[in-house]
Structure 1
Amino acid sequence: MRYAKTIIALCCVLIISFVLTGCKISFQGATQIKDIEFIRAVGIDTAPDEKMRLTIATQRIIAGGGRGESEQKQSEILHSEGETGFEAVRNFWSFTEKRPFFGHLEYLLIGEEAAREGLLKYMDFFTRDPEVRLNLNVFIVKGSEASEVIRQGNTRDKFVFDRLEGIKRHHWGLSMITEVDLMEVMYILDAEFLSLYVPCVKLVKKTESTGGMDEGMDLALEGFAVFKGDRLAGYLEREMARGLNFLKNNVKSGVINVQWEDGDMVALGIISTNRKIKPYMENDELYMDVNIKINCNIAEIQSKTSIFDDESIEYLQTRLEEVIKNEVKKVVDLAQEMKLDFFGAADAFLHKYPCKWEDIYEKNWSDIFSDIKFNITVDSHVSRTYDIKQPIGSKDIR
């Protein structure tokens, strides 16, 4: 019995040895980390013969050669074309020393021409591929190709995805955009009664360097592209973009300039906002009340006139309410004119009248949406100022 146990143990050792010998054959799908290129941004553009072009930027960080030498960043811009996204990705393999890996992909940049042709053709691969995360950010490139943004945004000191990350991290200070991820794009495109909106990235002229040399173009995130189905239909610029964020309850901060009675400007900093909507029906007509509450501080006074009395504060609040109401109304008017519900009025009526939604509204929502009566109200409160109360140049500074 004792010998039998020994023989069984030896057999187990031999079997394990045979299984573990030659791991290279047993795990053929494994890829060494030194053989893959981590891709964080992809540009999508049209190409001749109804093909698509993908643009990626590699990243290399080289340690300094001696004491006091900082690390250097190197990047290479690569392009690949194919009749499908999958083919274009695999075509990278034919001329790159490392296989592109999209598990760390954070930004999908879609050129304006590709967006006008339709997103579905270009995005299906990225929604289907198991490497790609669905929480990556999607941007429309306004006025140029995505490859141009990646090429000019990739400089000797910063990678394009580092620039996008830095700008995205601080966009809350103006509330001119809202992040939209791939999952939300998929959801809105599947919901026939909703219209897609996607933030825009564009090239802007850089300031001159200290040496007086023009360093080319830089990146800016501002405004939204709006879609009819999956095709680009138009843009929302600065104030209209903020108006959309008010409607979506996405305003966290920002600057609103109000003209004082003498023509000078008073800058108000947004501290907090809250939007409430109330859909209702009267005599078979649809209505929606939109109420926005906003709290601001006085950040700058260009006038020499003291404005810290009840009458002046009330005047500021009235002008502030007019500015916000005008921004929101412009968005509503444009949406109804285009018959595109990109701020989600359909969701409000769906939850308020679920039965009528299925029987009546869902089938003809674009026409019904354009006839909704919107009542927009704004309640503002200007709380305080900061270090000094009176404006510079006034007789009484305290």
Structure 2
Amino acid sequence: MKKLTVLIFISLFLTAGCTKYNFGRTEINKILFVNAVGIDKAEDGSDDIIVSSATKNIKPASGSIGESSDSKTKANILTSRGATNAEAIRNLSAFSDKRVFYGHAEYILVGENAAKDDMLKYIDLFNRDHEIRLNSKVLIVKGNTALCALREIGNEDIFVGDLLESLLSNKDKLSISDEIHIVDTMNMFDYPYMSPYIPCIEIVSGNYEDSGEQSNIDRLKLSGFALFKGEKLFGYITDRMARGFNWVRGKIRSGIIVVKEPGGQSVSLEITESKTKIIPKLTGGKLSIAINIRLSTNVISIKGTKNIFKKDILDYLENQQEETVKKEAEDILSFAKENNMDIFPISYEVYRKYPVLWESIKNDWNKIFPDLKISVNIDSVINRTYDIEEPIRSGYGVEK
């Protein structure tokens, strides 16, 4: 009975003491949840790091009282600097009335000058800190600072985190970009036999034909990949080169391939499925690589009126799409070999298939890769025509 009385007394004591002792907890209204973080190199010649933190700041629009449907969402930007990321982030406490919390940070943006300086120096904290999620997405800001991307994008109704989420959700439509997590960057930079890559974004003017006010609004655009040699930014690949990179990596989800029918009219083919295999081969003691790409497409648009749905014409179109894919893949392979950058990485496939051989050649991989024989083989098929089997007006004067 005495033990029960003691337990009840202790429970009452702890409950009553909660108002005084929070045991490390913080009230939610005293926490500032960061959604996106920008990392920049100081532009005054010092070695300082600039950290920018973006949070959602929802306020009722003027003239409304507590009407959430009329609220406007803005970015609340906090900026500080320090000799390291840790110091810069801690310095935010000097002027923030809330505890800045990075456990919900979904995006880490790195400015171009920071990436050129030393990528590892700027992202080490985000790999190391226990609060930050390892699935936070990393992006390089091409030709600009991360602070500019956080502060100046779009209009006051668009929050940069929401915009980045929308962009990355559409990455498969063109297959010229990808989603890379902070843990992936750590693994790439830690693997000495490959050149790391990180998707990048670019600030561009709005794509409007008129010369009105909207044409001056800046927008964010997915802009291929930033490539690294060691820890420093080397350059960028965009558009067809970036798609070729994804062909080799097996990361193509969709996209459009434009070919010509025998009469010279354009036909658009939508990529519906693709698969890539990188196969190392050892013949007579000599290493070579075969890259086999299989894809299927559907006819999504026909510019002319000629009936193209005949076996000989479909074979003609399939040959063209195979040549297109092969060129895109061979162009990025040539670029990688000329600059001695195994960005794929092919070295890992060699290690997986020939581990004993890899142990004997890994120290010379930088000498082997530029002269490595790599063949690209494409196998494609055009599957469907969607709802219409023949072009519109194909029956007028067209022999069937």
Question: Match of 1:330, SS?
Answer: helix
Mapped contact 1:153–1:163 kept (Cα < 8 A) = no
Post-superposition CA distance 1:57-112 (Å, at most 9, x none): 22122355277952222332221111100011011111122221111111111111
Unaligned runs of 5+ in 2: none
Superposition CA RMSD, Å:
2.2
| In 1, Cα distance between equivalents of 2:392 and 2:357 | 60
Scaled by the length of structure 1, what TM-score is found? 0.93
Post-superposition CA distance 1:139-162 (Å, at most 9, x none): 111111111111122631121000
- Matched to 1:318, the amino acid is N
Q: CA deviation at 1:207?
A: 3.9
Post-superposition CA distance 1:124-183 (Å, at most 9, x none): 111111110001111111111111111122631121000000111111111111111111
Scaled by the length of structure 2, what TM-score is found? 0.92
Mapped contact 1:41–1:108 kept (Cα < 8 A) = yes
**2:261 equivalent in structure 1:** 260
Alignment of 1:215-364 (within 5 A): 215-358=216-359, 360-364=360-364
**1:109 equivalent in structure 2:** 109
Greater shift in the superposed pair: 333-342 or 28-37:
28-37
**1:43 equivalent in structure 2:** 38
Alignment of 1:94-133 (within 5 A): 94-133=94-133
Post-superposition CA distance 1:19-74 (Å, at most 9, x none): 44433554352211111111111111100311111112221223552779522223
**1:203 equivalent in structure 2:** 203
| In 2, Cα distance between equivalents of 1:207 and 1:374 | 39
Cα distance, 1:11–1:77 mapped onto 2, change above 3 Å: closer
Alignment of 1:170-181 (within 5 A): 170-181=170-181
Q: CA deviation at 1:16?
A: 3.8
| In 2, Cα distance between equivalents of 1:135 and 1:8 | 48
| In 2, Cα distance between equivalents of 1:128 and 1:367 | 33
Q: CA deviation at 1:206?
A: 1.2
Cα distance, 1:98–1:211 mapped onto 2, change above 3 Å: farther
Mapped contact 2:75–2:160 kept (Cα < 8 A) = no
| In 1, Cα distance between equivalents of 2:209 and 2:152 | 16
Q: CA deviation at 1:330?
A: 0.6
Greater shift in the superposed pair: 279-288 or 225-234:
279-288
- Matched to 2:41, the amino acid is T
Cα distance, 1:20–1:345 mapped onto 2, change above 3 Å: same
Question: Match of 2:94, SS?
Answer: coil
Question: Match of 2:127, SS?
Answer: helix
**2:141 equivalent in structure 1:** 141
| In 1, Cα distance between equivalents of 2:113 and 2:66 | 47
Identity over aligned residues, as a percent? 36
Mapped contact 1:40–1:107 kept (Cα < 8 A) = yes
Unaligned runs of 5+ in 1: none
